Structure 1
Amino acid sequence: KGRELADMMERRKVDILCVQETRWKGSKARSIGAGFKLFYYGVDSKRNGVGVVLKEEFVRNVLEVKRVSDRVMSLKLEIEGVMLNVVSGYAPQVGCELEEKESFWSELDEVMESIPTGERVVIGADFNGHVGEGNTGDEEVMGKFGVKERNLEGQMVVDFAKRMDMGVVNTYFQKREEHRVTYKSGGRRTQVDYILCRRGNLKEISDCKVVVGESVARQHRMVVCRMTLMVCKTKRSKIEKKTKWWKLKKEECCEEFRQKLRQALGGQVVLPDDWETTAEVIRETGRKVLGVSSERRKEDKETWWWNEKVQDSIQRKRLAKKKWDMDRTEENRQEYKELQRRVKREVSKAKQKAYEELYTRLDTREGEKDLYRLARQRDRDGKDVQQVRVIKDRDGRVLTNLEKAYDRVPREELWYCMRKSGVAEKYVRVVQDMYERSRTVVRCAVGQTEEFNVEVGLHQGSALSPFLFAMVMDQLSEEVRQESPWTMMFADDIVICSESREQVEENLERWRFALERRGMKVSRSKTEYMCVNEREGSGTVRLQGEEVKKVQEFKYLGSTVQSNGECEKE
């Protein structure tokens, strides 16, 4: 279902999706394939559960995840300077107790009250109520294009919209009834799923309708809206094209490459002495013969076993569902049910075959080499990375320390950075297994504490941890890192230089923001500042309004750097 949902979002060009009745126990986030990630929460695998699916490019913009209950959760995203809160809700059904319904609305009220008024909010929820057709007396919060008559649960939705100054987006756009009905079961055709946003942001929504013809959910239909956020323009980073050298594993590609390379070198068997020219010829031949791919193209993470046969079966199931929706005969129903069962069988077979091939590969020398590639740091005499120093040249230098960096690495950030660095998904899963259900105890003078879960940070004493931390830091600093000598990274030290005092404060703030928004924290108490060739009245350096401690010397890579430029303390 996860991969099928991801395919539908990709096909329908949906970036963010609220889902209900996930029925997954736990509070986690997982990739579902096709470049999408699901954040979910549930306490029972048989009922309720809510989630939010994000396109991969927005995952790194998540600032906060609030899992209130198995009926309410929210995500806060920062998209190019705009704060967007996405709330997923699942209201109790009509027959549930009034106390349970009041509890749901109380939780939703608390979430809304915790969001600053200047931030955008979008609620996608199964409210299990009918707001009804027409808007007499409620023009300020809804349009005229609902379905059927309002019931008690629908009145609760309208009352909530009035309390929070929100609008029911579905009802503002005139559509055929088929594109307004969100729930179909037997002879029932109702509207129970809604999208809400602040009334002041309704102008940013250009369309909203129900998508028909999809088979992901049996009874509910997806409600989509097109929302345009007014953001500041940012300079796009240049996409690096990579040569597909991996194609050389195929004998036919390898032979073609050899022939083209000989032709490019003029038929010479021995390579010329001019290596730079030769290397460029090799690269150019590789680009022509093997082709190039974009660095941003990613493989599917959770559904690497997905094959054409499964995809074809799901496509036929989707068409059968569409056919049944148009002509609800018993023959069409049986055809759709049979294709549903066939898809389940195909998925099971594809998974089993893929895992058998993986286990067979891991049992070979090549698989062993791949599996332990992440552990190459084992033979190196490296130190745990625990400090990042930021040094300002000429007018001042700033030394910045990350507070308990090794213990603060968020696990989700670690998985993301591994994938961004090109680590194959199967090896990411191996590392995830190493960290899953990690428990420890603390030894003290009177004995040991009870076991408790360790859900953040890297394993202490592991030969793999320094390598993983370096990978995380490499990705976290990608947006703020400059070329040498303005940024220099060596072992556990990072050096940043600038030309002026104002520039060093700006660079320091950029590093702080880049690190702290991803779960790390810059230690204010250990951040130090040093002037070189100081002039009178040159001012101070501040970090978020706090004055940075000034020093006359500091040690860097074993050498003492002094503000007067001398080296007598070496």
Structure 2
Amino acid sequence: MQINKTISIPDRSRPGLTTTANSAVDQQGTDGNWTTVGQRQSQRQRRRGGRLVRRKREKMKNRSVSLKFGTLNVGTMTGKSREIADVMERRRVDILCVQETRWKGSKARNIGGGYKLFYHGSDGKRNGVGVILKEEYVRNVVEVKRESDRLMCVKVEVEGEMINVVSGYAPQVGCELEEKEKFWKELDWMVESIPRRERVVIGADLNGHVGEGNRGDEEVIGRFGVRERNVEGQAVVDFAKRMEMAVVNTYFQKKEEHRVTYKSGGRSTQIDYILCRRCNLREIRDCKVVAGESVAKQHRMVVCKMTMEVTKRKRVKTEQKIKWWKLRKETCCEDFRKEVRAVLGSVEIFPDDWETTAAVMRETGRKVLGMSSGQRKEDKETWWWNEEIQESVQRKRLAKKRWDSDRTEENRLEYKERTREVKREVAKAKQKAYEELYESLDKKERRKGVV
């Protein structure tokens, strides 16, 4: 028998109010169960707690990586290399785009302080662009595209993420229209050639004023520009709309002193910009002009901080493998042949059941030849190694010691040449070893000689 009871229970979510709960209570005792508001709230809290825990676990799978990008029109790199490296070190800039380097050639050069400059220029008196990288990112350079003396791109891998750093120098106001159109077409092509899943950061002197305010252009620029927009600034906005980019400078409210990038005489304007994809704009934490540096006479460095959420890499599971390459040795081959004959009963023809034969071969290989360690890049057996490679490696080691003790240009070139020599010898040895292995497997006599 059941009795329906109406119970008034205080509503803890809103003090002073009560709620009514109808429940069925067993007549045998007072230990009957009913659902109250408090219990329902506890259940909701547990559900919310579960979601919070899941979110926390998902967050733990990722980790944040911060990078500082900058752009600066240096006027010329001659006599300023070390000074720029010092500025980057003090301001903790990881990657810097430089314009008007006025260096001829397509090369890479260490500028001191652990920084390296990748540059391109066709005339030593005008134009020229470059990208300066911190030492830890130099090793991760994947590709360098040198489009012209006004445009180049360096692709860098950072924690498994690809970042394309573009350095650009747009024609000045007085240049011909054809030259300006050529620059924007090349920049369009360069950005379009980059896969959508990869990040793009453009640091450039675009010689245009995007202006203050963003009515009608909210998707590509912020409200914090300088002065009024001109024709060249409209070209910047049009490019950002075409390529779905965002002008980072204009999204952060700063004093005018920290927005002006160019000062000459009585003029103060904003013509140096950092752009990124609109979808990555939320990763930008700050952007401002660095005042107080004298490395360039008229231009000022623009710096932005990007924080990326990258997925932690899982350790790749490896498996142990049978050391089949040991069959190249006559002693191992003879032991393997004897063991297989013993298992198969000294038959000359394999059984018709391939699975049985394969199982016998694998088990015999494990017993006679042994198993690899299963560890990546550790205790790896290079069966193609030979004396020529060993001698090349020894020469490389000696060259490295000389380079470490005496950092002259001659020693550097020698070490570089020895490194290339080792790579060539390894490639030749691998090719020769595999060709011999394939030839031995193709020969009918070799197949018979195995068993």
> When the two structures are superposed, what TM-score results if normalisation uses the length of structure 1?
0.47
Whether the 8 Å contact between 1:89 and 1:124 is mirrored in structure 2 is yes
CA contact (8 A) 1:180 1:210 kept: yes
Kept after mapping to 2: 8 A contact 1:419/1:428: no
Q: What is the letter of the counterpart of residue 223 of structure 1?
A: V
**AA matched with 1:48:** N
Aligned twin of 1:157: 236
For residue 194 of structure 1, report the CA deviation from its aligned partner.
0.2
The letter for the 1-side match of 2:181 is E
- Aligned residue runs from structure 1 range 28-43, under 5 A: 28-43=107-122
1:17 aligns with 2:96: yes
Q: Is the 8 A contact 2:262 2:299 kept in 1?
A: yes
Name stretches of at least 5 consecutive residues in structure 2 with no aligned partner.
Answer: 1-79, 315-368, 373-379, 390-395
Structure 1 match to 2:409: 429
Take 1:206 and 1:563, find their aligned partners in 2: how far apart are those partners?
69
Secondary structure at the residue paired with 2:132?
strand
Residues 421, 52 of structure 1: alpha-carbon distance in 2 compared, 3 angstrom cutoff: farther
1:435-454: CA deviations, max 9, x gaps?
9xxxxxxxxxxxxxxxxxxx
Offset of 1:427 from its aligned partner?
A: 3.9
Partner AA of 2:205 in structure 1: D
Match of 1:3 in 2: 82
Cross-structure match for 2:41: none
Secondary structure of the residue aligned to 2:239 is helix
Pick aligned residue for 1:87 from 160, 166, 169: 166
Please give the secondary structure, in 2, of the residue aligned with 1:130: coil
Q: CA deviation at 1:424?
A: 3.4
1:104 aligns with: 183
User: How far is the alpha carbon of 1:106 from its aligned partner?
Assistant: 1.0
Residue 120, structure 1, aligned to residue 100, structure 2: no
Alignment partner of 1:58 out of 117, 128, 137: 137
2:296 pairs with 1:217: yes
Aligned partner of 2:260 in structure 1 is: 181
Distance (whole Å) between structure 1 residues aligned to residue 196 and residue 271 of structure 2: 27
Q: Is the 8 A contact 2:403 2:412 kept in 1?
A: no
Gaps of 5+ in 1: 236-392, 407-414, 436-456, 459-464, 474-491, 494-519, 531-548, 555-560
Letter in 1 for 2:178: E
2: CA distance, partners of 1:75 / 1:136: 34
Partner of 1:321: none
Q: CA deviation at 1:469?
A: 3.8
Q: Is the 8 A contact 2:402 2:411 kept in 1?
A: no
| Alpha-carbon distance between aligned partners in 2 of 1:29 and 1:214, rounded to the nearest angstrom | 25
SS at the partner of 1:125? strand
Moved over 6 A (4+): 395-402, 417-422, 520-526, 561-566
Alpha-carbon separation, structure 2, partners of 1:563 and 1:16? 61
In structure 1, what is the Cα distance between the partners aligned to 2:88 and 2:235? 30
Question: CA-to-partner distance for each residue in 1:190-246, whole Å, 9 max, x for gaps?
Answer: 0000000000011111000000000111110000000112224469xxxxxxxxxxx
**What amino acid maps onto 1:160 in structure 2?**
F
TM-score (norm 2): 0.59
- Distance in 2, matches of 1:70 and 1:156, equals 20
One-letter amino acid of the structure 1 residue matched with residue 123 of structure 2: D
What SS does structure 2 have at the residue aligned with 1:48? coil
Counterparts of 1:192 and 1:418 in 2: how far apart (Å)?
Answer: 51
Q: 1:13 corresponds to which letter in structure 2?
A: R
* Cα separation, partners in 2 of 1:33 and 1:394, compared to 1, 3 Å: same
How many residues of Structure 1 are paired with residues of Structure 2 in the alignment? 302
Deviation at 1:418, TM superposition (A): 10
Kept after mapping to 2: 8 A contact 1:208/1:225: yes
Change over 3 Å in CA distance of 1:212–1:109 after alignment to 2? same
1:16 and 1:52 map into 2 onto residues whose CA distance is 7
- Secondary structure, in 3 states, of the residue corresponding to 1:18? strand
Counterpart residue identity of residue 184, structure 1: K
Quick one: percent identity of the two aligned structures? 63
* Distance across 2 between alignment mates of 1:127 and 1:418: 49
